[in-house]
Amino acid sequence: MDKKLKQSAKTFKAFCDENRLAVLTMLLDGEKCACELLDALKIGQPTLSHHMKILCESGVVKGRRDGKWTHYSVDKAGAENAKKLLERFTETSPVSACRGNDIKEMVKERYNDAVSSGCCCGSGKISNKLYSIMSEDYSRMKGYEPDADLGFGCGVPTRYAAIKPGNTVVDLGSGAGNDCFVARAETGKSGHVIGVDFAPAMIAKARKNAKKLGVKNVEFKRGDIENMPVAKNTADVVISNCVLNLLPKKDKIFHEIKRVLKPGGHFCVSDIVLEGELPARLRNAVAMYVGCVAGAIQKKEYLNEISKAGFKKAKVLKERKVQIPDDAFPRDLDAETIKDFKNGNCAVLSVTVTGVKP
């Protein structure tokens, strides 16, 4: 790859995380010690070091060692180069610039970080706050395992999935195994549950949970949802919780779901969709993409992709509007944009949708 393109990719990566954006915002006020950044972000030293390495590699930030701590500041030349690069994408936005595999790698990085840091969707109270208002309570579901519930969901698809004893269930974006263990309680010992996730740390945590629970008919496979490591006509039911909207090729995803389902099988997924247009500044907030908001598509378009894939009896089983408080928005988002969003005709919806393979 061209050296200039490699550096551009590093620049975009630097801006594709809300904690890194928060660091840059703090550094605009002047040099900061690593200890100050740790206190402000409420994250661990390894996680901060990871973010600072990416920022320094982008050329936007520079560090200097002073005794025990490293002090960081904005590199003016690097920041100017980043500004010129980003200006070239003002019409398409950083989200548009981080497409395809770049977005998927960003999501994978955030979820791997989530396992190591113990926080939802990366670190920091804002992302935790965001997920606490999107996720729903699993604690009373049969088969629920607290260690497998990382709070990433926006619904409870297993509650509506009509899973029967003996069914084979595939969970897309299985994370630490939460929905898999709940689904296993429905299939019983005669059933089989397959969890698919592309984050290595998630697969490792899910397998650890399965071993701890002593379940023999739940397995976890590392793989891409757009090209599942599952044979065709395998599943009676496919489930997913707030994962499909994170990925760019939604048409391909629903065709893959259809491929792995048996004839007459069905899917039940919870996801985030939109009604109306998000304000431009919010749409450009890449950190919100992983938070399941800015990457969501219109509800009508989402349902259309299901129909185009050939599913029948597609319908919304549950729908609720997600109320987003001020402190859950990206830290650099201005008050006027938030006001426009709250007073506008746009809604962020959590939906649980089903469809049947003919």
DSSP string, 218-275: EEEEE-BTTB-SS-TT-EEEEEEES-GGGSS-HHHHHHHHHHHEEEEEEEEEEEEEEE
Report the pLDDT value the prediction gives residue 283, as an integer from 0 to 100: 62
Residues in the chain: 358
| 301-323 pLDDT, tens digit each | 999 999 999 999 999 999 998 77
* C-alpha to C-alpha distances, 280 to 90, 283, 326, 348, 355, nearest whole angstrom: 10, 5, 17, 15, 32
What is the reported pTM? 0.67
- Based on the fold, state whether residues 79 and 191 are members of the same structural domain: no
| 119-151 pLDDT, tens digit each | 443 333 334 444 445 667 888 899 999 988 877
- Based on the fold, state whether residues 142 and 276 are members of the same structural domain: yes
Report the pLDDT value the prediction gives residue 285, as an integer from 0 to 100: 52
Q: What is the mean pLDDT of residues 341-354?
A: 84
- Based on the fold, state whether residues 237 and 319 are members of the same structural domain: yes
pLDDT value at 239 more than 60: yes
Last residue of one domain, picked from the residues 127, 156, 189: 127
CATH number of the domain at 82, please: 1.10.10.10
- Point out which residues pair with 351 in neighbouring strands: 271, 319
- Based on the fold, state whether residues 171 and 277 are members of the same structural domain: yes
Residue entry with tokens 């050329």 = 59
- Based on the fold, state whether residues 202 and 294 are members of the same structural domain: yes
Report the pLDDT value the prediction gives residue 19, as an integer from 0 to 100: 83
- Based on the fold, state whether residues 9 and 79 are members of the same structural domain: yes
- Based on the fold, state whether residues 101 and 160 are members of the same structural domain: no
- Point out which residues pair with 318 in neighbouring strands: 352
- Based on the fold, state whether residues 105 and 43 are members of the same structural domain: yes
Q: Which residues contact 192 (CB under 8 A, 6 or more apart)?
A: 167, 168, 169, 217, 218, 219
* 332 vs 159 pLDDT, higher one: 159
User: DSSP alpha helices (H): ranges in the chain?
Assistant: 3-15, 18-27, 34-41, 45-58, 76-87, 93-97, 100-117, 125-134, 157-160, 178-187, 200-213, 250-260, 280-283, 286-290, 299-308, 335-343
pLDDT value at 101 more than 70: no
- Based on the fold, state whether residues 92 and 72 are members of the same structural domain: yes
pLDDT value at 345 more than 50: yes
pLDDT value at 208 more than 70: yes
Q: What is the mean pLDDT of residues 285-312?
A: 76
| 44-94 pLDDT, tens digit each | 888 899 999 999 999 999 999 988 899 999 998 988 888 777 666 544 443
- Based on the fold, state whether residues 176 and 56 are members of the same structural domain: no
pLDDT value at 173 more than 70: yes
Q: What is the mean pLDDT of residues 285-294?
A: 49
Q: How many domains does the chain have?
A: 2
Strand 347-356: give its sheet, edge to edge.
218-222, 192-197, 168-172, 235-241, 261-275, 347-356, 312-321
Last residue of one domain, picked from the residues 75, 94, 127: 127
- Based on the fold, state whether residues 220 and 323 are members of the same structural domain: yes
* 272 vs 358 pLDDT, higher one: 358
35: containing domain: 3-127
CATH number of the domain at 176, please: 3.40.50.150
The CA-based diameter of the chain, rounded to the nearest angstrom, is 67
* 266 vs 42 pLDDT, higher one: 266
- Based on the fold, state whether residues 67 and 94 are members of the same structural domain: yes
* 36 vs 16 pLDDT, higher one: 36
Last residue of one domain, picked from the residues 127, 151, 185: 127
